[in-house]
Structure 1
Amino acid sequence: MYLKKVEGPRAIRLPDGTVMTMADLPSTKTRRWVASRKAAVVRGVLYGLISKDDAMSRYGLSDEEFREWTLAMSTYGEHALKATTLKRYRQP
């Protein structure tokens, strides 16, 4: 079996016990960002599967956009990443 050399770990174990691999990250061609895809990218960066710079260049994200995703998820959870409920979690 051939294993391709990659930077960083091949898989990480999340605090809930599940294993996350590079295959669990969204495709690089993703244009429609649903909450679960945003959460997967944030988890991948927070737990060391990919670097923040790699995620930003891979998915074409701005620093501000990624910071907002991280803040929303850490403060309110994955539900705050939904576009339809975003206004509930914004400060007036």
Structure 2
Amino acid sequence: MYLRKVNGPRAVRLPDGRVMTRADLPAPDTRRWVASRKAAVVRAVRHGLIDRAEAIATYALSEEELDEWMAAADRGGERALRATARRRHN
């Protein structure tokens, strides 16, 4: 079995006890960003699975977009990351 060389950890333990691995992240070519995929990226950045720069580069995000996702997750969790929730608050 061959494990690809990656920077940083391959897995992290979340505060609720679950383990998150790089396999839990959305595909790099993701175009449809549903709330669960956004939440996975936010969790990965927050808990050190990937750093901000890697998330921005891998998913072609802007700094502002990632900041919006993180702020929305702080306000209301995964539900706040839904596109309809964003429209309601604007």
Query: TM class, shorter-chain normalised?
Result: over 0.9
Once residues 45 and 82 of structure 1 are traced to their aligned partners in structure 2, the CA distance between those partners, rounded to angstroms, is: 19
Q: CA deviation at 1:89?
A: 3.4
The sequence identity of aligned pairs, in percent, is 61
Tell me the TM-score normalised to structure 1 length: 0.91
Q: CA deviation at 1:5?
A: 2.2
2:11 alignment counterpart? 11
Unmatched segments (≥5 aa) in structure 2:
none
Unmatched segments (≥5 aa) in structure 1:
none
Q: Residue 77 of structure 1: SS of its match in structure 2?
A: helix
CA RMSD of aligned residues (A): 1.1
- Please list every run of at least 4 consecutive aligned residues from structure 1 whose deviation after the TM superposition is greater than 2 angstroms: 1-5, 87-90
Amino acid paired to 1:31: R
1:76 alignment counterpart? 76
Q: CA deviation at 1:4?
A: 2.5
Q: CA deviation at 1:6?
A: 1.4
Q: Residue 7 of structure 1: SS of its match in structure 2?
A: coil
1:44 alignment counterpart? 44
